[in-house]
Homo-oligomer: A and B are copies of this chain.
Amino acid sequence: MSFNKFLLETLRARGWRVTAARRAVVEALARAGCAADVQTVYRLAKRAYPRLGLVTVYRTLDLLAREGWVQRWEEGGAARYELDQPHHHHLVCLACGAVQRWDRCPVSVREGATLGGFVVTGHRLELVGYCRTCREVVR
């Protein structure tokens, strides 16, 4: 819970207001884990703050992404969000769509590298394939 407080206080220090809605979204995000979609965050956050509106979840996730607290990407026709804590990547199953966290990084391009005029500040990698469960089904 200390990390959440730090996040919220940093937001406040940067001039944003700390509201009940934002508190609830941040907490939901922390519980949600990898590749949470907006509905999942909404459902979790609403438990702590029932009058929360879906629009505010969109706005807050957007704010957190712009402020660099969460990673955002799109998959399966909807945006995914997660706290970008220790750098990691994902294994995406082509059969069932399951997303699994993978805590290593096999990318040899460093942050700050320049590739013909383009300065790299980060990267996003997905390894696609088949998860253990789906392989067993095929057998």
Contacts and interface: CB of A to CB of B under 8 A. Distances in A.
A125 B128 contact: no
B135 A124 contact: no
Interface in A88-139: 91, 93-94, 100, 102, 106-109, 115-132, 135
| Chain A interface main SS type | strand
Contacts of A75: 74
A91 B106 contact: no
Interface string A76-95: 01000000000000010110
A107 B91 CA distance: 14
B125 A121 contact: no
Contacts of A107: 106-108, 125
